[in-house]
Structures are given as structure tokens and as C-alpha cells.
Amino acid sequence: MQLKPISKTLLLLLIVFFIGCSSRDQSNSSSNNYSLYIMNKNLGNTIVTTNSIDSGTINILKDGIDLPTQYFDRSIIVHNGFFYHIKSGKFIKFEMQENALTEIAAIPMSNQHIENMNWQGKDTLLLFTLDNKTYSKLHYYKIDVKKFEILQKEEIHLPVAPSKFPIVSIGFSTLHQNNLILGYTYNKVINETDFTTIDTMYFATLDPQTLKIKSIQKDNRSTYPGGVNTVQSYSFHDERGNFYFMSCPGIALGNNLSKPTAIFRIPNNTTTVDSSYFFNLTATNQNHAYGMWYLGNNEAIIRSERKDLYNDFSDHHSTYQFEYYVVDLLKQTATKLTLPYDKGTRKESVLVENGKAYITIDDKDDNHQVWIYNIQTKKISTGLKLDKETDFIVRIDKLN
């Protein structure tokens, strides 16, 4: 059948169109399910998105999006197809377009940084920020992320800091029993490379509407409750509404080694920290840990350091030392998962979904991949692999 020239042209266009469209499936898209944030060996940062973390290989420089390190870091917030980050006096909403994260909206937020973020439903984000100068002035923002505007802004007037410990660290925020509970503590700088934390954990109960402080509790069984949760997770609610959080006095966060790393609980029917619940992880593992993720059914994963493998804070992030344990919150036991040692001081390296824990590990053989722990069968297998241009996988997030 002889085609007229115009039909040939149209057919050619049609073919090109389909080829062009079909190849889009594999490349980066904001409609993909998962997002990983990588620190590259070439000192840059990359973000990759994918529909599968159960298998496959990704070449980060070829398949990923380069993120200039002057504008981005791993404290980026990933949620519902969009990315959020505070930089240069603005809180910015980004979308993945072509081969870049493109700014689509911004809220002025100058001279402060995010200590804690808290999603209330799909479209409401609570932010707790401290000023960049004294690290002691606390602000609360309630943001509608769809319209991208501030619904409420309040200064939270914490009591005057104890003498010699002028710096505030916010570790968790939770809406619990119709109250807003903030976990926090105070630090002091000893010299340019040394600091420590006061011997006490503080908990403020606030009115969730007015942000006025109703009461403050202190607990000195440990210190440094929670941590900066834009970097890593340290707390959660279980199925019954009990709130669990981890304390982090280890060198990577609180640097007060007189206290143990432990898990604490605020029961579902009160706003007071349970004085009878004290899961002392350091007593169990002889080490400090940073990071905790809920698996369901009173089980959680924690990420623990090995003090016999590193020297001090200078090699803490580069030493292959981190181990993952499954802890039983009620029986207070910890079982080590058979995985290679991981590196990188703090990472959002665990994603729990569909009965599995997806754990990203950068091991000493220069493998950078997802390990899959089946919560039911307790079996471990490998999943998605990233290539050797990767130095650290510092985030694995659900994007959609």
C-alpha cells in the first residue's frame, strides 16, 4: 500500500511520539512512589525517584537529578509528590520538573532553621523553628501546603534556659490527648569542636490552639529526647495511640555520655511521660543508638553505633559501624539483624511499608543498596541497588 507523503509524515510523528512517551516511565518523575537522597563521591548531592525499591539498579549520575549543595541538603522534607526545604530566608515548595527541583512557591522565613516538623493530615504541616543567632527563640508555624500559606504563627515562650546551657534543642512534637507536647533540652558549647547537654529531658504541654504553655515536666533518666526529625526519625505512635520516643545522649546528638540511650513512653491516656517505662538500650547493647522506626505490633527498628570501632566524632560518620536491631517494646529485647555494617552518623535509612522494612546500607565493599526485612518471616533479602558513584544514601522516603 502506497502512503501519501502527508500520511507518512503523520505516521512518523505518531511513532516518535510513542517512543518519546514510553521512555518517560523509567526516568525521574514526581509521580514515582519512592525518593532517595544521595551524597555522591564527587561531593555533590543527587535525588533519584523510582517506582520500585524491591529490585533494579540505578546509576545516580545518569538517572538522578543533581542538587546544588549551596541550595539543598538532606534535611529536605519529602511528602505527597512535593519537596520542601528552608534556605536563604525562605521556606520553599519544590516540584520535580525535567531535570531539576524547581521552586513553585515560597514563604518568607528568615534567620531561623527547622528543629522539628509534624504532618497533621495530608495538607497541614507544623514547623518548630529556632533563630539562627541565639538558638533559643522558638517559633511555631501551621502551614497549608496546598495553598502554601501560613495559617498560624506563634512564638512559644519557653522558660529561661538554665544557667550555662543557653542553647535549645527540640527533639519531638506530638498532638496527644488534645494537647501539644514538645520534648526538648538545653546544650552548651565547650569549644569549637566540643559541646554537651544538660542532664535532663524537658517536656512542655501546650494548648494546641494558643500555643500557651500549660505545664513543664522534667525527667533525668536520660537527656536529649528525640532529635532533629528532618534528618532522621526518633518517635512514633503505636496502634493504640501510645507515644514512644528515643533519647540520644550519644556523641552524635547530645554528647552526654553519663546518660544511656533509652526508649520512653507517653501512654495514650495521659500527657505525662510514663515513669515506670524505661527501655535502656545502652544497658542492652553496650552502645548508643540514633534513629527509631515503628514496625507495628510493638516492634521497632533502631540504628546503633559501635564504640569499639570508631575513634571520636571525626571518624564517626566514615566508619562502617552501624547495626540495625529489631526491638520489642513490651518485652524490652533487642535482636540484631544480619546485615553489613553501615556508615553515616544519622540517616533516614528505614522505610516501613507493606509488612517490610526497607533499609538502605552503604557497606565497606562499596555496595549501596536497599535491604529488605520481612517483618512476618524475619527473612532478609536485597532490593534496589545504586551504583558506586554513591557515597552515602542519606534518605529513603515515600514520595507518593
The site for another protein (CB under 8 A) is made up of: 39, 43-45, 69, 73-75, 87-89, 113, 132-133, 135, 167, 169, 187, 189, 191-195, 228, 231, 251-253, 255, 311-314, 316-317, 344-346, 394
Beta carbon nearer to another protein, 64 or 356: 64
Q: What's the min distance (Å) between Cβ of 312 and another protein? A: 6
Q: What's the min distance (Å) between Cβ of 99 and another protein? A: 20
Pairwise CA distance, residues 391 & 188, whole Å: 32
**Strands 380-386 and 57-58: what pairing?**
parallel
Instruction: Give the helix/strand (H/E) hosting 281.
Output: helix 281-285
Torsions phi, psi for 13 (to 5 deg) = -60, -40
Q: What's the min distance (Å) between Cβ of 292 and another protein? A: 17
Q: What's the min distance (Å) between Cβ of 192 and another protein? A: 5
Provide DSSP, 171-239.
EEEEEETTEEEEEEEEEEEEETTEEEE-S-EEEEEE-TTT--EEEEEEE-SSS-BS--TTT---EEE-T
Q: Specify whether the CB–CB gap between 187 and 196 falls below 8 A.
A: yes
Comparing CA positions, the residue from 294, 241, 235 lying closest to residue 270 is 241
| Spatial CB neighbours of 77, under 8 Å, sequence gap ≥ 6 | 83, 84, 85, 117, 125, 230
Beta carbon nearer to another protein, 93 or 347: 347
Q: What's the min distance (Å) between Cβ of 12 and another protein? A: 45
Beta carbon nearer to another protein, 72 or 294: 72
Beta carbon nearer to another protein, 169 or 360: 169
Q: What's the min distance (Å) between Cβ of 135 and another protein? A: 6
Provide the phi-psi class of 226: left if phi over 0, else alpha when psi is between -120 and 50, else beta.
Answer: left
Beta carbon nearer to another protein, 52 or 69: 69
Beta carbon nearer to another protein, 44 or 64: 44
